Structure 1
């Protein structure tokens, strides 16, 4: 069977339409699959990031509480030591004042005796 020119061009058009339709269908399906997979990966990553954020926040809060407790303890210790040093300095100052009075009395006696 021989085909004339209009029949050949009709077959070429039908073949081209079928091929373009098939490629369009495959591209659309592939696009949907890729979009679905990207959304799934995005959901998974978001969940993991939220988990990591929660874990890090809990750890940072625990570290902050621990450091605050240690700083408060250190502050109390240093305050007690500073109070002890202040008391010692007060006693030394009183002794120096007493010594100064005694030296003043001795100098007065020595210079007046000449």
Structure 2
């Protein structure tokens, strides 16, 4: 127990080079440079992800728009066919010509 206290006391007196064992000691400007590089990397990555997301979203919406337009055209042709059929029925049953 007493030897454990002596070890703790000796740890408090160690300088930074003996305490880091294999780790590189960095100065404050180096740390700020690392923080800046990491922040720039994260900002660039968020920019790339958002740009790709917007491009994919626009492509998907463009495809949806084209499909909806083609389906509306089909419905329009069907309505034109129904209108022609109703005009033929009215003409045959009532003898009227609707224009």
> TM-score scaled to structure 2, two decimals?
0.70
CA displacement, residues 13-63 of structure 1 (integer Å, 9 cap, x when unaligned): 000000000010000000000000001001101100110011111111111
Counterpart residue number, 2:25: 2
Find runs of 4+ consecutive structure 1 residues off by over 2 angstroms.
none
The structure with the larger Rg is 1
More helix by share: 1
Report what 1:96 is aligned to.
Answer: none
- Does the residue aligned with 1:57 lie in a helix, a strand or coil? helix
**Normalised by the size of structure 1, how large is the TM-score?**
0.61
**Aligned residues: CA RMSD:** 1.2
Q: Structure 2: 5+ residue runs without aligned partners?
A: 1-23
Unaligned segments of structure 1, at least 5 residues: 74-114
Greater relative contact order structure (CA < 8 Å, 6+ sep): 2
Tell me the equivalent position of 2:55: 32
